[in-house]
Amino acid sequence: MTEMRRRFTDAEKLDILAEIDKLKKDGKPQTSVTNREHISSSMLSYWREQDRLGRLKPTNGVKATEPVEADAMAEQGASPKEHVLELRVANLTSALEIATRRADRAETLLALHKQVAELEAEVVRDTASSTRP
């Protein structure tokens, strides 16, 4: 009998990573979580990389591409249109957060590049002045 692979939503991945981080802070091993969820440490590394790159989007466990039952939405008190709009807002909010983080990193890199260029120019000036008779 072949086991089916489990698929985790981005929100589930983030929850698992947060739980493991808490265990590490408390000095406890992550094996209780990895064994319970049947995931490898290499999978955790991959998820951490995805999170670092801003590719994990917390959308409360609901994927925008998943079909949603009308009855389930009615139980939540939302019309199909409201549900779609809610998902769209969550996705746009997540995209904005990612873009903001990227812009912040870009600004930091540009500032560092400017500092390096200034230091290089200073070295060139010092070298030129010290070689003149």
User: pLDDT value at position 54?
Assistant: 82
Whether the predicted pLDDT of 74 surpasses 80: no
The pLDDT tens digits of the residues spanning 45-73 come to 889 888 888 888 876 544 443 444 445 55
* Residue 77, C-beta contacts closer than 8 angstroms, at least 6 positions apart: none
User: pLDDT value at position 63?
Assistant: 43
User: pLDDT value at position 62?
Assistant: 46
